[in-house]
């Protein structure tokens, strides 16, 4: 696995949420979802990432 960063977690979460989006205004939706997740705590990001990837990432192992 590559080095884990907040940015990687955010991108993974956003990609997961966007993969089934077929509506109009794709770019606006992408920006909105990205904005939502970039302002979440690292703990919240880890929990969501772990649910998506079935992993056990903790805040302590994220590279700063």
Domain limits, the chain: 6-61
Q: 3-state SS string over 5-50?
A: CHHHHHHHHHHHHHCCCCCCCHHHHHHHHHHHHHCCCHHHHHHHHH
Residues 62 and 4: beta-carbon distance below 8 Å: yes
Residue whose entry in the numeric block shows the structure tokens 């907040």: 6
Predicted confidence at residue 64, as pLDDT, reads 59
pLDDT in tens, the chain (64 residues): 568 999 999 999 999 999 988 888 899 999 999 999 999 999 999 999 999 999 999 999 987 5
Residues 59 and 46: beta-carbon distance below 8 Å: yes
């Amino acid at each position: 696995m590559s080095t884990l960063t907040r940015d990687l977690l955010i991108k993974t979460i956003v990609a997961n949420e966007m993969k089934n989006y077929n509506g109009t205004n794709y770019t606006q939706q992408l920006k909105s979802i990205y904005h939502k997740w970039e302002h979440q705590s690292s703990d919240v990001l880890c929990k969501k990432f772990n649910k998506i990837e079935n992993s056990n990432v903790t805040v302590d192992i994220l590279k700063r």
